[in-house]
Amino acid sequence: MQYNRLGNSDLEVSEVSFGCMSLEVENNSESASSLLREAYNKGINFFDTADLYNHGLNEEVVGKALKPFRDEVIISTKVGNVWDEDGSGWEWNPTKEYILTGVNESLRRLQTEYIDLYMLHGGTVDDPIDEIIEAFERLKHQGKIRAYGISSIRPNTIREYAERSDMDCVMMQYSLLDRRPEEKSLDLLAENDISVITRGTLGKGMLIDKPARDYLGHSTEEVKELQRAANNTGNPISAAVQFVLDHSAVASAVLGIRTKHQLEEITHSMKSPVSSEELDNLRSILSPKKYDQHR
């Protein structure tokens, strides 16, 4: 497992990170805890959760599982969404007040004195951006967080934070099937020493084992062509991960892991990288689609 620095922070994150949203924590928390610890044993040191997942239970399970080696792992969580009282939905609340109070609940659930990476869970240019930045900077000064960033695919929003803050990362959707970040965001972030954490790296599973379908302007037949090429490499998981890591801005690819078998597949695949020629071939198959609906 390789490790990369996150922005200008002192955090070194594994090139593959554990997306905890996929964990089955409701009825089988012990199994989820075992899977998290096994991932750590295999070299994954970066675990991503959010206060929104499972109404906070996800954070609780992650915190309990990783507590025995807390200082050896990087924990990321997110803030900005508030569950309705009846738990049927949530509302967007990116205020300074909520960020400053929400962090304390995440700290409690995670059973930790600090959060390594704290991210705004969404965002638009209409949010009180300066107040949000002020909240994150205050938490960093207080020692409650070590680094901060945003989770967003909106180019204009990303640009505002890149220009106005000292954030260390942006989490965004990026894959062989979704190359929109190449249009406006990746180079901008690299120039500002802001790291990217990718999600959706496996294209909703279509880059490894899920049936092809129309996706983000690509036809089913186009997706099938990419699938065939990825399978021909003999290691489609590694090909998908290597593609995103190939950009200098990308520090880690978040993969949703549900089972020990999936964990074994992912960690084993990273030991056998595909060639640069194979990556170039995959890159040439689909033309990148541009943003047409995100601010």
* Contact status, residue 81 vs residue 21, Cβ threshold 8 Å: no
Residues annotated as catalytic (active site), given as ranges = 53
Q: What is the pLDDT along the chain (295 residues), one digit of tens a residue?
A: 899 999 999 999 999 999 999 898 877 688 999 999 999 999 999 999 999 988 889 999 999 999 999 999 999 999 998 878 777 788 899 999 999 999 999 999 999 999 999 999 999 999 999 999 999 999 999 999 999 999 999 999 999 999 999 999 999 999 999 999 999 999 999 999 999 999 999 999 999 989 999 999 999 999 999 999 999 999 999 999 999 999 999 999 999 999 999 999 999 999 999 999 999 999 999 877 766 544 4
Q: What is the pLDDT of residues 172-192, one digit of tens each?
A: 999 999 999 999 999 999 999
Q: How far apart are CA 160 and CA 17, in angstroms?
A: 26
